[in-house]
Structure 1
Amino acid sequence: MTRTPAPTKGPAPALGAPRAARPARPHGQWKVDGTTPLNANEEFKAVDNALNVRERIENIYSKQGFGSIEDTDLHGRFRWWGLYTQRKPGIDGGRTAQLEPHELEDSYFMLRVRTDGQALPPAALRVLGDISTDFGRGSADITDRQNIQYHWIEIENIPEIWRRLESVGLETTTACGDSPRGFLGSPVAGIAADEIIDPTPVILEIKKRYIGDPDLANLPRKFKTAITGHPSLDVVHEINDISLVGVVHPELGPGYDLWVGGALSTVPRLGERLGAFVTEEQAADVWHGIIRIFRDYGYRRLRNKARLKFLLADWGTEKLRAVLETEYLGYALADGPAPQAPTRPGDHVGVHEQKDGNLYVGAAPVVGRVGGNTLSGLADLIEKVGAESARLTAHQKVVVLGVPPQNLDVLLAGLEPLGLTARPSLFRRSTIACTGIEFCKLAIVDTKDTTARVITELEEKLADVSAKIERPIELNVNGCPNSCARIQTADIGLKGQIITVDGEQMPGFQVHLGGGLVREGRDEAGLGRTVRGLKVPAHEVSDYVDRIVRRYEQQRTPGETFAKWAHRADEDHLS
């Protein structure tokens, strides 16, 4: 590594003469600037590897209680084991940005359990349900990262929760933090009749080799992975740091197309293809190479620039691929084809044939809410009908696998009392919502209850129109600007904020329209357009959605998707 020598002193430049260029401030790239921490977040990670906090949780904090937890563990390292303090009840959204974190937080935790696309047999579902019932006041949500998320968790119960999870092959390791977060995997891996390649061996290999590796526990920020071999492109591959998407190479056969640098939040950027074909044997090494590029070259000085998407924006795809091949792999990857546009939705809702003659059935809860009774009841139902297991989806849904055809009707009927349905309405199927102000310290407005109410109202208001619309219209609702619910890539995305109407402040939403990832009827991804000046009060959301969907139905051309219509429509028609 070469350094520019310090300038020697000389005469001051004449007044008005051009000044010498000031040296750029370091980005905090380890391979360029060294590993000296440049902010408080980097400092606490350098002091002690965050994975080490598990021992303190088990031996000290769980025994001495919440008050014994050291601050940088509580607000930093706990995240590496899936733990965040949850929001204290009764604090309205207008105060979210005014209060310090310790003023917003309660002494209870959100706990995130990663599933990584794996099948959950009845035993695992019962463990997940029992944890909710015994320790989480019945709470459990399916997130759009295929995680299970609990609330009301107390520090004293964490060791027992870990013991139960690990008894059925589940974990919370690096479910949060500046680390390799939970993977998105195809919910129909290994069983779909039209699958290109089964991603299960790749996911298991990466997890076995690298999850919990101390060398990957100090990244600039989070690192998100998606891997699918299904032609429906069911893992939202365009918005992950790395995605491996199943394709067939004309000479090498089935493998993966490599995507990098996708992420949303306040500066959304869709991932890009590197043009590289990855074989199943190469996949774990390629994943390891990309995450180490992020670790070594990612920007660490500013947290708001510490995602792989910013490095990709500066480097471009050609440089990133060259660095991957020369510095990290030691060999060149073959060029390969792009994935084909999907011919059906990737949420897998409904009844579908498996390659073995059995069926898989995708069912929708309401905005991902399941709870302990639902999870335990699903375990009982799977055993009753002789099915095999269930998987979670990136759309807050659940897919039951291995259903004998002769027991399909029993399964469909049994799902309904559990709050699940394989025949959802237009908006129950296509709506997701983040945690919102009920538990999240960053949130400004309520999301889960508001969205559940909106779905019920839309089922009545749009009953006459829904049958005329061929494809789902995605409604994504987020409680703050961070886009955990992917508002920029939805047909209708709602970003929570406090708005002013006739001089009165109230919860409301900014509107994004016409976003979307590659899916049935859409051959390219794009971010939604923001409707200038349009703010919708929370209590008027269903009225707004009803109005905008009716305009779409009236004005669309044959075969035109909502996204295409929204991008061409006059702004007057979008308010």
Structure 2
Amino acid sequence: MTDTDTTKPASDAAAAEAEERRRHREEARLIRTREAAARKNTASKDGQWAAGDRTPLNPNEEMKAAGDPLEVRGRIESMYSKWGFWSIPPGDLRGRFRWWGLYTQRRQGIDGGKTAILEPHELDDEFFMLRVRSDGGQLSVAQARTIGTISETMARDTADVSDRQNIQLHWIRIEDVPEIFRRVEEVGLMCAEACGDVPRVILGSPVAGVAEDELIDPTPQIRDIMDRYIGSPEFSNLPRKFKTAFTGQPIPDILHEVQDIAFCAVEHPELGVGYDLWVGGGLSVNPMLGHRLGVFVKPEIAHEVWKGVASIFRDHGYRRLRTRARLKFVLKAWGPEKFLQVLQDDYLGYELPKGPAPKLAQRGDRGDHVGIHRQKDGNYYVGVAPVAGRVSGAKLNAIADIAEAAGSNRIRLTPLQKILVLDVPEDKVNDVVNGLRALELESDPGEFHRNVIACTGIEYCKLAIVETKATAREVVKVLDEKFPDLDNPITVHVNGCPNSCARVQIADIGFKGQLVLDEESGEQVPGFQVHLGGRLGRGDDNDFGRKIRAHKVTEKGMPEYVERVTTNYLADRVSADETFADWAFRAEEELIK
């Protein structure tokens, strides 16, 4: 192992680092060579375990076949945290670490044009992004304080609310990871399977257990799945990520159409309250809407149905190509009828009864839970909107203090990067609203403030090409001043690369990061492809949005573009009832460029 003792002369340390980098490159080359030999004459295989294809057909599959990635925690605690960053071999660093919520962070100062050019080790900084799981978006005051304190003391006060209802920290040192694990687990949280080819954090309605119109509290079902299957070797080697969502709301609030599996509350005329089952949704570069299987799931068997669907993905998922290793491709190949038949015959051993569909969203149904809302117990919850999910450890601690002073012990994160404080007595509502406002967390924000979402972006992400959080903040600043009385919400989602962590395809205005040509300078600069008119929750009218051929927007020109199309929408819509998405699909092209 290369000695990285910081007491050595600077020249010796630099030479040691250079040698370690050379070793990493050679190790990566040998892995690629070995993989190429293993994959010889396997081009006709898809890597489906159910078909007997167990040969690892790409480097990720070889890494998982070598041993359960969850076992890397022992090496983190006993070796790497003591020996330092450069002691970590590539297979653990960029592979197995994900199973414990850790991604290497982007090295500072590398522009977006280098993202697809540099080798992984050249993009790596010696720090990590860490995700802390908060399934259902549920945090206690103690849990929020724990994350906030970790952020302030070990993550340079970074903390972002992701659209998977968890908190992401940055600038994490490998030396601090064991202590972070200890602290989060001490308060009932965990980082296990926050990333990786596993069941990711389970989305849940952020108003579970408190909403006045709730049909069922899905928290017991979420907890049941976590206790039985999260961290189990049975599902720690899936073809790729597997995203789950539950809601007890009559109108779903968990973006069920774009999850691998979603359980939406419905009331069966004979069997009572349970769930409608959806499978096979997903976005990224090949977006697909989920399929409603038309069956009714009783709450007590939800974990069995979840296990069956996850097992189908594990056994029948396509493992050869990472670009096809999602459940949505199995659905596309099979169709919903065959999928349901395989689920019932091969995995459940019983038929599921037919059931009703959830209600469709109506005009005015936002589903973000921002504002002041009465709970079914007579208390209130207060929902606020951080700009693009950006908060900090200090703010998390302050939110915990505000909640506790109001007599609350429950904080929730939402799939739309919002924060709720639950269980606020009526006479404490103003205290909570004003306390959060002092933190720039508004319960009555402007429309663009309320409706902007952004991924991590080039600030920390190795896949990103453009800046996102700061760009989103500029959009909010400019547009809320320009349109203070906007009477129809316009959602703006900003993604730093061609993937869709920020769900660009389902926004009114979605920006997908890429390099674009600056007409003034004639040079390639950071910018975006534009998607317009994405919409969910409308049944047969769901759509991924309209792309404008050959039209790109530069990063600097993005606020001006949003202003222009918003102005055109307000001038050209047929009535105040016409949504931006509806207008975007019928508008002349010159109005949306």
* TM band (smaller chain): over 0.9
Aligned residue for 1:120, secondary structure, equals strand
User: What residue number does 1:4 align with?
Assistant: none
How far the C-alpha of 1:476 sits from its partner, in A, is 0.2
Q: Would you say 1:199 and 2:218 are equivalent positions?
A: yes
- Residues 382-415 of structure 1, C-alpha deviation per residue, up to 9 Å, x if partnerless? 1112223110000000011000011111111000
Q: 8 Å contact 1:246–1:339 — kept in the other structure?
A: yes
Q: Which residue of 2 aligns with 1:337?
A: 356
Q: Distance in 2 between matches of 1:333 and 1:405?
A: 43
Number of the residue aligned with 2:38: none
Change (3 A) 1:542 1:212: same
User: What secondary structure is seen at the aligned counterpart in 1 of 2:81?
Assistant: helix
Q: Is the 8 A contact 1:387 1:401 kept in 2?
A: yes
Residue number in structure 2 paired with 1:480: 497
Q: How many percent identity over aligned positions?
A: 57
Q: CA deviation at 1:33?
A: 3.0
2:12 maps to which residue? none
Q: Of the candidates 355, 373, 383, which is equivalent to residue 394 of structure 2? A: 373
Q: Deviations over 1:518-544 (max 9, x none)?
A: 16xx87421011011111111111111
2:564 maps to which of 547, 555, 558: 547
What amino acid maps onto 1:533 in structure 2?
Answer: A
Matches within 5 A, 1:317-336: 317-336=336-355
The alpha-carbon deviation at position 187 of structure 1 amounts to: 0.3
Counting only pairs closer than 5 Å after superposition, residues 40-439 of structure 1 correspond to structure 2 as 40-343=59-362, 344-439=365-460
Deviation digits for residues 506-565 of structure 1 (CA, Å, limit 9, x no counterpart)? 21111100001116xx87421011011111111111111111112111222231111111
Please tell me the root mean square deviation across aligned C-alpha atoms, in Å: 1.3
CA distance in 2, matches of 1:274, 1:451: 37
Query: Would you say the 8 A contact 1:119–1:390 is kept in 2?
Result: yes
What CA deviation, in whole Å up to 9, does each residue of 1:156-197 have, x standing for no partner? 101110111011111111010000011111100011110011
CA distance in 1, matches of 2:476, 2:42: 55
Determine helix, strand or coil for the equivalent of 1:27: coil
Corresponding position of 1:533: 550
Preserved contact between residue 251 and residue 358 of structure 2 (Cα < 8 Å): no
3-state SS of the aligned residue for 2:528? strand
CA distance in 2, matches of 1:553, 1:475: 16
What amino acid is the match of 1:380? Answer: D
Q: Which residue of 2 aligns with 1:7?
A: none
Unaligned runs of 5+ in 1: 1-21
Count of residues paired in the alignment: 548
1:221-250 Cα offsets, whole Å, 9 max, x none, are 000001111134211111110000111111
- Amino acid in structure 2 at the alignment position of 1:542: P
Deviation at 1:91, TM superposition (A): 0.4
Q: Kindly tell me: are residues 141 and 118 of structure 1, through their superposed partners in 2, closer, same or farther at Cα, counting changes over 3 Å?
A: closer
Q: 1:342 to 1:306 in 2, by over 3 A?
A: same
Secondary structure of the structure 1 residue equivalent to 2:557: helix
Distance 1:391 1:193 in 2: 17
Alpha-carbon contact 1:231-1:342 (below 8 Å) kept: no
1:393 aligned partner, one-letter code: T
User: In structure 2, how many angstroms separate the alpha carbons of the residues matched to 1:523 and 1:143?
Assistant: 28
1:363, 1:296 → 2: CA distance? 42
- For the residue of structure 2 that corresponds to 1:536, the secondary structure is strand
User: Where do residues 500-515 of structure 1 align in structure 2 (5 Å cutoff)?
Assistant: 500-502=517-519, 503-515=522-534
- SS at structure 2 position matched to 1:497: strand
Give a deviation string over 1:255-282, Cα, whole Å, max 9, x none: 1010000110011001110111101011
Native 8 Å contact 2:161 2:167 kept in 1 = yes
1:494 to 511, 516, 519: 511
1:24 positional shift = 7.7
Contact in 1 for aligned 2:137/2:203 (Cα 8 Å):
no
* Residue identity matched to 1:572: E
Residue equivalent to 1:3: none
Runs of 4+ in 1 over 3 A off after TM superposition: none
| Preserved contact between residue 137 and residue 165 of structure 2 (Cα < 8 Å) | no
Deviation of 1:34 after TM superposition, in Å, equals: 3.0
CA distance in 1, matches of 2:477, 2:252: 29
Q: Deviations over 1:328-377 (max 9, x none)?
A: 00000011111101342111000111010000111001110110110000
- Partner in structure 1 of residue 584 of structure 2: 566
Deviations 1:18-40 (A, max 9, x none): xxxx9981111001133221122
Residues in 1 aligned to 2:159 and 2:272: alpha-carbon distance in whole angstroms: 41
Could you tell me whether the CA contact under 8 Å between 2:137 and 2:414 is conserved in 1? no
Distance in structure 2 (CA, Å) of the matches to 1:175 and 1:121: 19
Where does residue 5 of structure 1 map in the other structure?
Answer: none
Structure 2: give runs of 5+ residues left out of the alignment.
1-40
Q: Could you say what secondary structure the match of 1:438 adopts?
A: coil
- Rounded to whole Å, the distance in 1 between the matches of 2:321 and 2:265 is 35
Counterpart CA distance in 1 for 2:524 and 2:137 is: 45
Partners of 1:55 and 1:419 in 2: CA distance: 41
Residue 584 of structure 2 contacts residue 592 of structure 2 at CA under 8 Å; is this kept in 1? yes
Tell me the alpha carbon deviations over residues 121-175 of structure 1, each in whole angstroms, 9 at most, x when there is no partner: 2111110100100110000000000010000000110111011101111111101
Where 1:418 maps in the other structure, the secondary structure is coil
Q: Deviations over 1:97-138 (max 9, x none)?
A: 111111111010000111111531211111010010011000
Matched residues in 1 for 2:308 and 2:471: separation? 42
Return the offset for 1:308.
Answer: 0.4
Query: Does the 8 Å CA contact 1:341/1:523 hold for their aligned counterparts?
Result: no
Residue pairs, 1:454-473, within 5 angstroms: 454-463=475-484, 465-466=485-486, 469-470=487-488, 472-473=489-490
CA–CA distance in 2 between the matches of 1:38 and 1:537?
39
Residues 1:451 and 2:457 aligned together: no
Which residue pairs with 1:32 in the alignment? 51
Partner SS for 2:135: coil
The question of whether the paired residues in 2 share the 8 Å contact of 1:489 and 1:527 is answered with yes
Structure 1 CA distance, aligned partners of 2:214 and 2:561? Answer: 39
C-alpha contact 1:367 1:431 (8 A) present in aligned 2: yes
Find the aligned partners of 2:150 and 2:251 in 1 and give their Cα distance: 33
Q: TM-score, normalised by structure 2?
A: 0.91
Query: What secondary structure sits across from 1:494 in the alignment?
Result: strand
Matched AA of 2:167: I
User: How far apart, CA to CA, are the structure 2 residues paired with 1:505 and 1:293?
Assistant: 44
CA distance in 1, matches of 2:344, 2:146: 43
Q: Distance in 2 between matches of 1:550 and 1:338?
A: 37
Distance across 1 between alignment mates of 2:228 and 2:541? 34
CA distance in 2, matches of 1:233, 1:429: 19
Rounded to whole Å, the distance in 2 between the matches of 1:24 and 1:71 is: 26
Q: Could you tell me which amino acid in structure 1 is paired with residue 581 of structure 2? A: A
